[in-house]
Amino acid sequence: MRATTVLVEGESDRVAVETLAGRVGHDLTAQRVTVVPMGGATSIVHFLDRYGPGGAGHRLLGLCDAGESGGVATALARAGIGSGSLDELGFHVCHADLEDELIRCLGADAVLDVIEAQGQLASFRILQRQPAQRERPITAQLRRFFGGRSGHKVRYARLLVDALPAGQAPPPLARLVASI
């Protein structure tokens, strides 16, 4: 069985990939899959030096934000992995970021239900009343909420993936997990 390394931008992405993979029946350890948070997409060159280009019996997959996709594509091409579309190379691109994908997939009301279940709806409502947030769409407010406190992105990554209806996941995340 080939070993697979999945490069993701951060810890919350790792948690989301592992959570969805578990929900759809993947045993990542048994399948020899390791999900590696890079600490930001700009670190990909270091990780390609370490994990790529996939030697015999090794696969490299990934997930990145649209704003980082150009740099990821350039790094993959320079590493000799290929110059096709990122999707063809096994790297899946989130529209803005994974939190945005999860919010759009679930819908704002379902995301608010998750926040409420954590006892943090009042905190979110306070954020909404801040002058810089008042005129922003609720999706932007939710992204700010998840990114505003240390640990929130990681904590809510698992909770939001767990809240997804069976068989429904953001397309980039679903395609990545399906390719494992």
Predicted confidence (pLDDT) per residue in 94-148, tens digit:
999 999 999 999 999 999 999 999 999 999 999 999 999 999 999 999 999 999 8
If asked whether residues 46 and 88 sit together in one domain, one would say yes
CB under 8 Å to 53, separation ≥6 — which residues? 60, 79, 80, 81
Q: Is the peptide bond before 53 cis (omega within 30 degrees of 0)?
A: yes
Quote the pTM value.
Answer: 0.93
For residue 82, the enclosing domain spans: 3-97+166-178
If asked whether residues 86 and 110 sit together in one domain, one would say no
